[in-house]
A and B are shown apart, each in its own frame.
Chain A
Amino acid sequence: MNERLKSLYQTVILQKSREDKYVGKLNDFSLEFRAYNPMCGDQFDLQILIEDNSFKCLKYSGSGCSISRASAAVLCEHLQGVELDTVRQKVELFLELVDADSDKQPEELTDDENLLAFAAAREFPERKTCADLSWKELLNQLDTLNQS
C-alpha cells in the first residue's frame, strides 16, 4: 500500500469507523438532523441531547464509507460535553483541518490526533465530502438554531 493511502486510512480512522460507541439512537434528544450526500448516498442521522447549555450526549446511525463513518464517530466523541458557546468554533476548526485551501498547516490548528487523521483528506479532494459530511450539516443546524 502506498504512503498516500496510508495517510488517508490511518489506524485511527479505521478504528473509529468500526467503533460502535456512538452508534445508535437516543431516547431523549434536543436536536436531530440528517447528513446526506446525494452524490454517493452516504447518509447519517445524528441526535444530540443538549443539557445545561452543553452537548450532553451524541449518537449517530446510518451508512457510509469508512471515512464518513469515522468522521461522524469523531464528531460525537469530540463534541461530547462541549458547551454550546464553543461548539461552532470546534466545528469550524475541523472544517478548516480538511480544507485544502486553508493557509494553515493541520498541526497549527490542533494537536488532537483523532482530528489530525482527517487532514489527509486535503490530498484527496474527492473524499473531502466524506470527511466533512456530518460536520457541515451540524454547522447548518447551528445556523438554524441561532436564527430561531
Chain B
Amino acid sequence: MDIDQVKSQFPIFRQKTPTGKDLIYLDNAATSQKPQSVIDAITNYYSKEYSTVGRGAYWPANVNTVKINQVRSKVKNFLNAQSEKEIVFTAGATDGINKIARSFLAPKLKSGDVIMISQVEHHANLIPWQELCKAYGTELLVIPVLESGHLDYEWIKQNLSERVKLLALSACSNVLGIKNDIKRITTMAEVTQTPVLVDAAQVLSHNRVDVQEWNCDFLVFSAHKMFGPTGVGVVYGKQSLFNEMKPFNYGGGIVKEVTFEASNYQDIPHKHEAGTPNIAGVLGLGAAIEFIKQLSQNETDTHLEELTNYALSSLKAINGLKIMGGEQDKAPVISFTIDGIHPHDISTFLNEEGICVRAGHHCAQPLLQRFEVPASVRVSFAIYNTKSDIDKLVMALLKTQAFFS
C-alpha cells in the first residue's frame, strides 16, 4: 500500500504545527483525522444540497433521503448485519450505550439482577450501567483483567448466570490495546441467554467487524474514530430486540398516528430515530466507510501490525519505559510510562516536536487503578502513520528523558 498516497488524502498533514513541525498524529484511539472525501461529503451537503430528510417531497430532500438510506445500507454491509432495520443512527457510541441502557435494559431490571462489564471499560461503558444499578438495586459485576491485558475468561464462565441481564464490553481496550475474544464471550453468554452489547468504538478503523459471526445482540460505535465526523454513530441491534424496545427518544419522525390520547410508532429502525437526524454527520459516516473500503483490509492489517510491532520494539529499547499489558492480540494502541517523568511533561515535550499523544487516564480510571498507574502516555496508530513517525517519537522521548535526568 502506498501510505504517502493515503496520507495525502488527509489535508491536515499539509500544514505545519504552531511550532513549525510536521504533524505526527498518534492519538487515533481518541479520534482519527479526516480524509478530504469525508470533509467534501459534509460541505457538499451544506453548500449544495442542504435540506431535511424523510419529510419533504421536493429536491433536495428527496436526494438526501435516498443518500441517508444508502448510508444505512453501507453500515449494514460494513458490519455484515442482516438488515438495514438493525442499524440506528445515534450521536455516537456513548449515546448508543445510554440509549440501550434506558430503552432496553432499564424497563426489565429488578433488584437482584446483575449487569456484567469488564475492568478495561471506557467510562462510557461503565457509568451508564453503574447509574442503572443505583436506580434499580442491580449488582454490577466486573470481569477482572489479567496482567497481560486479557480478560479472565474462566471468571466469566464461572460468574455468568441467568441473573446477568446484560453483558456489556468493549471489543478492544482503549488503553492497553488488547482485543477481546467477543465470539468466545457470546458463546458463553448464549448458555445463560444473556444479551451481549459490544462497544466497538475502538476497533472499526482497523478491524472489520462481523456482527453475525460475533453473534452479539447490540454493537455501538462512533464515526469519529474511523475517519468520520464527530457527533454521529450507530447502534446495531438484533431485529427482535429493536422491535420489543421502547423508542430511544420520543418526538417527530418516529410516529404513525398521533392524538392527544395516544401515539403509535413506525417500524424499526425509524422508531428509534426521533427528531431531525445529524444528516451531515451520517453523510460523512458514509464517506468514511467508503474510504475504509477502498483500502485493502489485508494491507491495512499488515501495515498497522508492522507499525505496532516496530513501535513496541523501539519503545522497549528506552531505559525505564514500561509498556502496560502484553503484546498478544494487540491493536495499534500502546500505553506506557517512563520512570521519573510524568506523562503530562512527556506530552508537552512531544507537542513541541509536533507529536500528538495522549497523557492521562484515557477515560478508564478503574483500569489505571488496577495497574497501579496514576497516568500513562498512549500512542495509537492509523493508516496514515509511518515508521518514521515512530522514529521521531522515540527521538523525542530520548530528548525528554535526557532533559529530566
Contact = CB atoms under 8 A, between A and B. Distances in A.
Interface of A: 1-2, 4-5, 8-9, 14, 39-43, 63-69, 124, 126-127, 130
A1 B403 contact: yes
Nearest to B353: A2
Nearest to A43: B374
A36 B399 CA distance: 29
23 contacts: A1-B399, A2-B19, A4-B19, A4-B352, A5-B348, A5-B349, A8-B348, A39-B360, A40-B359, A40-B360, A41-B368, A41-B374, A42-B375, A64-B342, A65-B342, A66-B342, A66-B345, A66-B404, A67-B344, A67-B345, A68-B344, A126-B348, A127-B344
A19 to B, nearest CB: 15
Nearest to B365: A41
A10 to B, nearest CB: 12
Contacts, number: 49
Contacts of B360: 39-41
Main SS at interface, chain B = helix
A9 B348 CA distance: 10
A65 B345 contact: yes
Contacts of A67: 344-345
Interface in B348-401: 348-349, 352, 359-361, 365, 368, 374-375, 399
A39 B343 CA distance: 13
A63 B403 contact: no
B314 to A, nearest CB: 22
A63 B348 CA distance: 17
A116 B19 CA distance: 24
Contacts of A5: 348-349, 352
Interface string B18-31: 01000000000000
Closest 9 CB pairs of A and B: A65-B344, A65-B342, A40-B360, A41-B375, A41-B361, A63-B374, A65-B345, A41-B374, A66-B345
B352 A2 contact: yes
B381 to A, nearest CB: 23
Contacts of B368: 41
A114 to B, nearest CB: 19
Contacts of B344: 40, 42, 64-65, 67-68, 127, 130
A128 B374 CA distance: 20
A63 B374 CA distance: 8
A40 B352 contact: no
Nearest to B341: A66
A40 B348 contact: no
A5 B19 CA distance: 11
A65 B399 CA distance: 17
A42 B365 CA distance: 12
A66 B403 CA distance: 12
A85 B349 CA distance: 40
B403 A40 contact: no
Contacts of B348: 5, 8, 124, 126-127
B125 to A, nearest CB: 18
A124 B368 CA distance: 26
A58 to B, nearest CB: 22
Contacts of A127: 344, 348
